Amino acid sequence: MKKAVFVAGGTGGHIFPAVSLGNWMKENIDNPVDITYICGSRLLEREIYKGCGITPEILPVEGSPLGILKMRKIIHRTLSLFSAFFKMLRFLRKDRPDVCVLFGGYVSFPPMLACLLCKVPVIIHEQNSIAGKVTRIAKKLGIPILAGWTECYPLGKSKFNHVGIPIRRFKIVDREEAWSKLDTGVAFPKGPIVGVLSGSLTSTPLFQTICELAKESDLNDVTFLVVGGKGRCFGTDTIVAVERQWDMSIIYSVVDTVIARAGASTLAELMVLGVPSLIVPWRGASDGHQERNAALFEQMTGNIVWDEHASKHELKQHLIDCITKAHDCMRLNGRRPDSYESNSSKRIWDVLISLTRRESL
């Protein structure tokens, strides 16, 4: 294998596994593979890739036409999919990659069809425990499915290959050193630090919930480090907001516990690092995949899941339990994330080698 194409866009949950797999291949494969990354046209996608030191090829697509009410937007996005399809066709005919790996989401749809037409071996990696629309279509078209979880509903276990989710490498450093690098203008907190991770798209409702929580008198000593928080929080000085971080090493170095959405890539990272976590699944996620991700995460780790429709008092008690658990756990410095990341990427690599060899016969 000399050339590969990784199609990953939309959010960090799709992009980071692709970049992590690519980095693993650079470090572990004797014969270098030339990897081209392909994404959509959202500014967020370009920002994430730039933070990873990668310049991707960009398809003229910014979202799915499904679930949109405005006819003008539906037409625009549908036409964009056609434009992306023809651009991908031109790329494949010119570059002739040995394999294409799709990382799900609407960005993957035009490349999937183009690969089938150009007879380029293609495979899709589904990060979530519920298969997305493109993944379900891929299965009907006979494309192999790699899954991040032991479930990939509604596919039966014989219909996919469980490989896990490639995660980023993290360099865990001293807590006070990490805090100083965040440049918050606030002295290093004496009490517990709770990281609030709302995903690469950020979440204003979650931020508002944290604002209410921070005002509770029995949480006065807790500092909430909100990553990518939007808006202002009046009546408390224990919320510290920082911009979105594409390298989460500093955040994971400094926090005692985490409140997070249930994006699959985030959960994989928390699982590996062993961070005591309180998961708040986003109910608006397509097909309810965040709720199912969270349920599996809870089963596998014993961490807590909170429904946003439940009481704030319940959330507070869950958070206190998480903080207590964090004090009983060993510090992050003793956690080793390498094995999970390597195993997942190695499994995917083995499948790619098998696929390309079979296609060459």
Helices (H), 29-101: 43-51, 71-95
| pLDDT > 70? residue 36 | yes
Please indicate, yes or no, whether residues 149 and 237 belong to a single structural domain of this protein: no
Other Cβ atoms within 10 Å of 308 Cβ, number: 13
What CA–CA distance (Å, rounded) separates 343 from 353? 15
What CA–CA distance (Å, rounded) separates 96 from 25? 20
Name which of 216-220, 255-259, 335-339 the model is least confident about. 335-339
Please indicate, yes or no, whether residues 203 and 154 belong to a single structural domain of this protein: no
- Residue 97 pLDDT grade (very low, low, confident, very high; cuts 50, 70, 90): very high
| pLDDT > 50? residue 338 | no
CATH number reported for the structural domain that contains residue 56 in this entry: 3.40.50.2000
Q: pLDDT value at position 331?
A: 47
Please indicate, yes or no, whether residues 51 and 123 belong to a single structural domain of this protein: yes
Find the mean pLDDT for residues 326-343.
55
- In tens, the pLDDT along 17-26 reads 999 999 999 9
Please indicate, yes or no, whether residues 202 and 317 belong to a single structural domain of this protein: yes
Q: pLDDT value at position 352?
A: 96
Which residues make Cβ contacts (< 8 Å) with residue 342, sequence separation at least 6? 24, 28
Provide long-range contacts, Cβ within 8 A and 24+ apart, for 230-239: 230/202, 230/204, 231/204, 231/207, 233/207, 236/211, 238/214, 239/210, 239/211, 239/214
Find the mean pLDDT for residues 78-103.
97
Structure tokens given for 8: 């990953």
Sign, Cα dihedral of 319, 325, 331, 335: negative
Please indicate, yes or no, whether residues 42 and 100 belong to a single structural domain of this protein: yes
Please indicate, yes or no, whether residues 132 and 19 belong to a single structural domain of this protein: yes
Please indicate, yes or no, whether residues 351 and 271 belong to a single structural domain of this protein: no
- In tens, the pLDDT along 174-184 reads 999 999 999 88
| pLDDT > 50? residue 3 | yes
Please indicate, yes or no, whether residues 184 and 297 belong to a single structural domain of this protein: yes
- First vs last C-alpha separation in the chain: 14
Place of tokens 């964009």: 80
Q: pLDDT value at position 332?
A: 47
Cα distances (angstroms) measured from residue 33 to each of 1, 19, 30, 167, 338: 7, 13, 9, 19, 22
Structure tokens given for 327: 């004090």
Place of tokens 């928390």: 270
| pLDDT > 60? residue 93 | yes
φ, ψ for residue 130, nearest 5 deg = -115, 125
Q: What mean pLDDT value characterizes the chain?
A: 89
Please indicate, yes or no, whether residues 344 and 292 belong to a single structural domain of this protein: no
- In tens, the pLDDT along 271-303 reads 988 899 999 999 888 889 999 999 999 999 999
Percent of the chain with pLDDT over 70: 91
Q: pLDDT value at position 336?
A: 47
* 8 close to 37: Cβ distance less than 8 angstroms: yes
Assign 34 to helix, strand or coil.
strand
Domain membership of residue 152 as a residue range? 3-168+339-360
Q: pLDDT value at position 189?
A: 93
Residue with more model confidence, 226 or 341 = 226
Please indicate, yes or no, whether residues 41 and 154 belong to a single structural domain of this protein: yes
Other Cβ atoms within 10 Å of 72 Cβ, number: 8
Please indicate, yes or no, whether residues 162 and 179 belong to a single structural domain of this protein: no
Q: pLDDT value at position 283?
A: 87
- Residue 232 pLDDT grade (very low, low, confident, very high; cuts 50, 70, 90): low
Q: pLDDT value at position 231?
A: 58
Counting the structural domains of the chain, the total is 2
Please indicate, yes or no, whether residues 68 and 161 belong to a single structural domain of this protein: yes
Assign 87 to helix, strand or coil.
helix
Find the mean pLDDT for residues 322-334.
66
Residue with more model confidence, 149 or 329 = 149
Structure tokens given for 206: 């979650």
